[in-house]
Homo-oligomer: A and B are copies of this chain.
């Protein structure tokens, strides 16, 4: 299989806090329901079908690259896919998310989870990555869920408002919690490694709901596992991104886990995020996806303000603060990419032309 040379490396450069020609941009959930062609494919294929079909998965992954002009692709998949491969049955319910018929509650439930060998359990995902690596001339981001977020789905049985069962296990059965988190951390390490070996140029850990924890709880019950994960994945020498929402108070700890890039939601101004993470990591974010429904001049002004703040220090990747909403206008997203690429930020820590 012929491998394309990456002709556009600005995403990787920004992750490494190197100078870039313009600020790189991609969007979380950039392959999704806002795109009429994606919706057409979803009429005939379920989300999990697409994940299981390498050609289809590669096609869906590349659609936003062609349409929007983003600087990175992200593998089309779902964070629950490897959890399914560990033996926990789940389905994806439309407008709800992952739903697990038999949530994890006991020692036995946790012991029954199978060890995870990516090449045996998910060969089609690795094939998708190889196909994409051969076709793309921009970096492909591989990803996994974060252990806390995965555990929350596994324990609650689906999305949750308060993570009550999850937090209850964490504090009342620290022995079970440790075992479950260790198994999930092992999975993340093996899966991340396999994705990079197949051709992913970076890895993002989506720990979307970890911001539901206090600083104290994060430090005691999650940070040690994240530190082990990033310590292992650092050996792969690709940028490692750690992302969650509502994580303003955790950013300093995030930067200590060994991740190279810290994702920031729209609640935290990037200058504050920078003060909390120090200068040894890059930042990614933090345009509120709801603001894509504003008039174009408001969108442009907000993007430019974010670019000014983000590029004040080397190491900044433009992104939304969370995934693209299904009702977003594709043309607005494309315009936003153009705005990001065209703008010369006021400060010149990065991206000066």
Tell me the bound Cα distance from A220 to B164 in angstroms: 34
B249 touches A246 (CB 8 A): no
7 extra interface residue pairs, beta carbon distance < 8 Å, beyond A213-B267, A214-B269 = A164-B290, A171-B291, A171-B295, A172-B294, A172-B295, A246-B267, A248-B267
Inside 8 A of A211's CB, which chain B residues have their CB?
267
Inside 8 A of A164's CB, which chain B residues have their CB?
290, 293, 325, 327
Given A162-B325, A295-B172, A325-B162, A167 contacting B290 (CB threshold 8 A):
yes
Q: Which of A209-238 contact B (CB under 8 A)?
A: 211, 213-217
A167 touches B246 (CB 8 A): no
Query: Can you list 19 A-B contacts (CB < 8 A)?
Result: A162-B289, A163-B290, A164-B290, A167-B288, A167-B291, A171-B291, A171-B294, A171-B298, A211-B267, A213-B267, A214-B267, A216-B302, A216-B305, A217-B291, A246-B246, A248-B267, A249-B267, A249-B268, A249-B269
State whether the Cβ of A168 lies closer than 8 Å to any Cβ in chain B.
yes
Copies in the complex: 2
Interface of A is mostly: helix
A289 to chain B, nearest CB (A): 8
A340 to chain B, nearest CB (A): 18
Tell me the bound Cα distance from A256 to B164 in angstroms: 34
A206 to chain B, nearest CB (A): 16
Contact with B along A185-216 (1 / 0, CB 8 A): 00000000000000000000000000101111
Most buried by B among A172, A211, A272, A293: A293
Q: Which of A75-131 contact B (CB under 8 A)?
A: none
Inside 8 A of A302's CB, which chain B residues have their CB?
216
Tell me the bound Cα distance from A214 to B268 in angstroms: 7
State whether the Cβ of A266 lies closer than 8 Å to any Cβ in chain B.
yes
A290 touches B162 (CB 8 A): yes
Inside 8 A of A215's CB, which chain B residues have their CB?
267, 269
A168 touches B249 (CB 8 A): no
Tell me the bound Cα distance from A294 to B172 in angstroms: 5
Task: Identify the closest chain B residue to A287 (Cβ).
Answer: B214
B293 touches A168 (CB 8 A): yes
